[in-house]
Amino acid sequence: MSGGLRIGGRETEQVHASCETEVEVKHGVGLHARPSVTFTRLAKSFPCSIEVAVNGSDIWLNGKSIIKIMGARIRKGSVIRIRADGILAEEAIRALKDLVERNFDEEKRHGRTA
């Protein structure tokens, strides 16, 4: 492990991790522009790497890239795997999964649909 980032052995183990989760997209039209913006912005707020694979594919896409996320054809009913590696990986996975389950907070937006 990189010595420069070590704060203490136990703390490093706590924050530096590799995590993965799986979640189904229920949002009406999937990850078009606005939900993609919400997703990649949240992903970018974490210092770890975030990758996404769709419907059992083993191609992992950069979860911080809106171009990749929009191009992944994530539609209603798609199952996405999200994996994170690095600092705050667990928190990142939890937050992103929550976001998908909350339908990307679309309902909060003045009741408009996507």
Partner 1 sequence: MAAPLRLKATSASPGVATGPAYIAAPLTAAASPPSGLSGHAELDDAIKTAIRELQDLATGTDPESSDIIEFQIEVLQDPTLTEMAGARIDAGENVAFAWVGTLDAYIGELECSEEDQMRARAVDILDIKNRVLSVLTGTSLDDFPAGSIYVGRDMEPSRFLAHDWSAGGGIALYAGSAVGHVALLAKSRSIPMVIGAGQFTTDRGQHIGVDGDAGVVVLQTADENTMPAQFDHPATGTAPEADNGSLRTADGSQVLLSINVNAPDEVDSILAATTAGIGLMRSEFAVTSLGDAANEEKQFAIYRRLLGWADGRAVTIRMLDIGGDKPLSGLTEAPSLRGVRLLLARPEIARVQARALLRAAVFSNLRVMLPMVTFPSDVDDIRQIYREEASELARRGVPHRIPPIGMMVEVPAAALMLDRFESADFFSFGTNDLAQYLIASAREDADFALYQDRAVPAVLRLLSQAVKLAGGKPVSICGDMAGDPARTADLLAAGICHFSVAPARLPAIRSAIVGLNADGTKAAGE
Question: Closer to partner 1 at the Cβ: 10 or 112?
Answer: 112
Give the integer Cα–Cα distance in Å for 27 and 74.
10
Contact string (CB under 8 A) for partner 1, positions 34-73, x = contact: x-xx--xx--x-----------------x-xxxxx-xx--
Q: Are 49 and 84 in contact, with CB atoms under 8 Å apart?
A: yes
Give the integer Cα–Cα distance in Å for 32 and 24.
16
Total chain residues near partner 1 (CB under 8 A): 20
Give the integer Cα–Cα distance in Å for 26 and 33.
16
Enumerate binding residues for partner 1 (CB under 8 A): 29, 32-34, 36-37, 40-41, 44, 62, 64-68, 70-71, 109-110, 112
